[in-house]
Structure 1
């Protein structure tokens, strides 16, 4: 009997532009710790420390774009995270750097937005969809920026509005005979800073990974309001996993730790860890034996 294969070829990323990322060497796609990858429906983005290549893997002769961010040579800045931003028909690539800058590029490789989140290295960029209200079916996208001991959250609607303005301006400049070339500094001042929430989650030390897993109810004995609370799960560098209740209101931005426990370092995904936490929380705890009370005595 012939050997069965459970894989199907869906595309190819063979491209001469990948030679700048180390393509052509055996194991270049797996053994390079500095190589980052982000996969979309029809495109793939590959990045090393200083440049990014966007390829249409469904059509190798189609879209190819090279991105070389303006990084600070004095601070030895480099690319640390990439992720796709998809809003209906609009697609863009988010890039995080070692200095805490959040960059957004279109599919042509043009810089759309540049913003400093917090001084420090961006570890991960995560995009997730969530329900805006537990009683409604309306959904929203959110972008989570993970840094050592710091979490930032962007509302997807704000990023979508920014991309809509960018594409409208790009279409209007298409008919301009002398389009204006803007550098990163001018672009950083051309639009308002994207509003976002920023939390300090370093109560148990710097984190190696983190994610906002969804909404959660407010603390007990608190007046009900329209205020939203988010649940965040962090994994420390010492394999300590913690869950936090994050307040949306800056005036009440104290981060409350819900749970913290040590887990084996072999766990690699946020989802499996968060499920393990909530299952362990539901298990009944044995009450500790109380000491016997003193008998009443009388002094004679």
Structure 2
């Protein structure tokens, strides 16, 4: 590994730092990584820390949460567009909050009444192997999956960015009025699906979108639900769902207008929470289901193309799922509490061009790998995909966590190619390092 910097500071006590194992032992502590900054959230506060410069920029955000509903922060992630970087948070009441790096609220919107479990930011670019490109934010809730298109989010943030800079140059710096509407830049369109047929969802990810035939949009979704029946303790024959792959399809219409009316919320904006009505669900059609009692899926991570999903389960196993063929292509055992992230390793260095001092590696020089952090073993293993060998074993301390920078919207496929990297945060020392992508 290569050390990059340290985030240790007094402000970390706001999110529980100060005792051994604080980073991994607190189930309410959330982490999200950008290229040179880290966002940490714990129930009611979001702490943004930078380590690129010596002073280490620090921002403390305290969202206005409902005390009546005991609302708390349940998910956090970055949104990165060229010159725009913001932090988004999901709450236990189903709200999506957008914050500037100055701590100002940009946008607040109800997605669906319920707990937001995870926010996933990803995209696929058009290249020789991809016919279409797609960028999105996926909102995962128990039994509900929502999708916000990246272009809609970018349009909203551009309006905010332009307005903010106009106020700055006109010396009209003023904060939002607490009585102002929650969505000053308009409602953010989103698609919503009910995927609770097999039980409560613990994790999910959208693997890609298909071209729309006759105004019909198809979205492939990998779900990690677990089915807990009220009779489960008595009926041992009921199995838990490990992973299912579903195709969710909104209803087909002949005009764009009627299509948008179904998918997008059209109710008038109201600052009163009681007036907010949930958006109706679109149609969802399950394709397949993997049942293996007593296994239940816990966490999943997608490859950059969305064709592979690494799934950890309650039995200490890791399944590598081909999301196109709908089959498990690889299985690891003995990895309890493991966390997996895909990365790219530079393994093809034998060509004459690659030995040149001025050569910049291209995408074809890298191979896709899976980094498996096994905290009980105190190691990180790197395996070549799909069926390749184990390339490296890295020792790591207890209380560390592997992280990955969020997807950057609008990132180019041109040279120099930026590979997928994995970082390691040592909670006890505050040191953050990057796993080397070359084999010595």
Q: Which moved more, 1:204-213 or 1:264-273?
A: 264-273
Structure 1 CA distance for aligned equivalents of residues 328 and 117 of structure 2:
31
Given the superposition, is the C-alpha separation of residues 280 and 91 from structure 1 closer, same or farther in structure 2, using an over 3 Å criterion?
closer
Match of 2:137 among 124, 143, 156: 143
| Cα offset, 1:278, TM superposition | 4.7
Name the SS of the counterpart of 1:11 in structure 2: strand
Aligned residues: 272
Unaligned runs of 5+ in 1: 1-6, 219-223, 284-300
Name the structure 2 match of 1:265: 296
> 1:102 and 1:185 mapped to 2: Cα distance?
18
Residues 277-288 of structure 1 correspond to what in structure 2 (within 5 A)? 278-279=324-325, 281=327
Match of 1:67 in 2: 61
1:247 alignment counterpart? 249
Does the 8 Å contact 1:85/1:93 carry over to 2? yes
Counterpart pick for 2:152 among 151, 154, 158:
158
Q: Select the residue among 87, 96, 101 that pairs with 1:102.
A: 96
Residues 177-232 of structure 1 show CA distances to partners (whole Å, capped at 9, x for unaligned) of 453321455151422110110111111111111111112478xxxxx435321111
Residue in 2 that maps onto 1:292: none
Q: Deviations over 1:45-93 (max 9, x none)?
A: 0010000000112235132111000000010000000011111221111
C-alpha distance in 2, partners of 1:117/1:267? 23
SS in 2 for 1:142: strand
Max Rg structure = 1
Question: What is the CA–CA distance in structure 2 between the aligned matches of 1:282 and 1:275, rounded to whole Å?
Answer: 4
Distance 1:282 1:50 in 2: 39
1:35 matched residue in structure 2: 29
Q: Is 2:217 the partner of 1:228?
A: yes
Any conservation in 2 of the 1:12–1:60 contact (CA below 8 Å)?
A: no
* 1:92 partnered with 2:86: yes
Deviations 1:259-290 (A, max 9, x none): 1122433763241247256545599xxxxxxx
Gaps of 5+ in 2: 228-239, 252-261, 264-280, 302-308, 312-319, 330-440
Q: What SS does structure 2 have at the residue aligned with 1:186?
A: coil
2:118 alignment partner in structure 1: 124
Q: Provide the residue aligned with 2:256 in structure 1.
A: none
CA distance 1:137–1:281, change in 2 (3 Å):
closer
SS in structure 1 of the partner of residue 310 of structure 2:
helix
Equivalent of 2:70 in 65, 69, 76: 76
The one of the two structures with greater contact order (alpha-carbon pairs below 8 A, sep at least 6) is: 2
Aligned to 2:182: 188
Give the conservation status (yes or no) of the 8 Å contact 2:5–2:52.
yes
Confirm or deny: 8 A CA contact 2:47 2:61 kept in the other structure: yes
Report the structure, 1 or 2, having the larger helix content.
1
8 Å CA contact 1:11–1:59 kept in 2: the answer is no
Cα 1:32–1:135 shift into 2, 3 Å: closer
Deviant stretches of 4+, over 6 Å: 132-136
Instruction: Report deviation, 1:26.
Output: 1.5
Kindly indicate which of the two structures has a greater share of residues assigned to strand.
Answer: 2
Distance 1:280 1:243, change over 3 A: closer
User: C-alpha offsets along residues 223-242 of structure 1, whole Å, 9 cap, x if unaligned?
Assistant: x4353211111111244122
Instruction: Tell me which residue corresponds to 2:173.
Output: 179
Alpha-carbon spacing, 1:100–1:184, altered in 2? closer, same or farther (3 Å):
farther
* 1:151 partner SS: strand
Whole-Å separation in 2 of the counterparts to 1:104 and 1:282: 37
- Change beyond 3 A, Cα 1:134–1:235: farther
Separation in 2, partners of 1:62, 1:172: 28
Q: Secondary structure at the match of 1:275?
A: strand
Deviation for aligned residue 1:32:
1.2
Aligned-pair Cα RMSD in Å:
2.7
